[in-house]
Amino acid sequence: MDLKELAANALAQNKKAALLVGAAGAALLGFGLGYKYMRKPEKAVRVGVVSQILIHPLKSGKAVPVSVAECQKMGLKSGGLEDRHWLVVTEEGNMVTARQEPRLVLVSLSCRGGHAYLNGPDMEELKFPVKHPDNPILNCRFHITVVLNAIY
């Protein structure tokens, strides 16, 4: 006989014990459910409201408003756009930000059809493939500043 059959036989022989075990289980279940549904929930405190989500595909470039974004290890992503995924660098590998070139905030970057497009006032649109096997890898030092705006 296995363990289940032994337990069933022992409980069948002692009906008082079986009834007691069943009642104790039902009471425990009742107390658990009662605690879960009868206790007062903690009061939620509103700390802010998200009014807009912005992604900057180009570091220091023009922001792109999005309605939905996915949080990833390296930042927000919406469709083909990733936050601060692209960076302007000099031929020497130095990053260029709006601190050095304030007009950079007017340049927008968009991606479609496997190409990236840079647009800005008084400039011709620049189009280049997102994936290109001959693109060199440049070492570059950069910093990131995170700014969160909340409405209270």
pLDDT tens digits along 43-89: 888 888 888 999 999 999 999 899 999 999 888 998 888 998 888 88
Indicate the angle between helix axes 3-13 and 15-38, nearest 10 degrees. 100
Alpha carbon distance 15, 20 (integer Å): 8
Residue 42 clears pLDDT 80, i.e. is over it: no
Name 75's Cβ contacts closer than 8 Å, sequence gap at least 6.
82, 83, 84
Give the CB-side neighbour count of residue 79, counting CA atoms within 13 A: 13
- Terminus-to-terminus CA distance in the chain, angstroms? 68
Q: Model's pTM, two decimal places? A: 0.58
Residues of the chain above pLDDT 90, percent: 26
Give the 3-state secondary structure of residue 6: helix
What confidence score (pLDDT) does residue 125 get?
93
Task: Report the C-alpha dihedral over residues 34, 37, 38, 44, rounded to 10 degrees.
Answer: 150
Name 126's Cβ contacts closer than 8 Å, sequence gap at least 6.
117, 118, 119
Residue 4 clears pLDDT 90, i.e. is over it: no
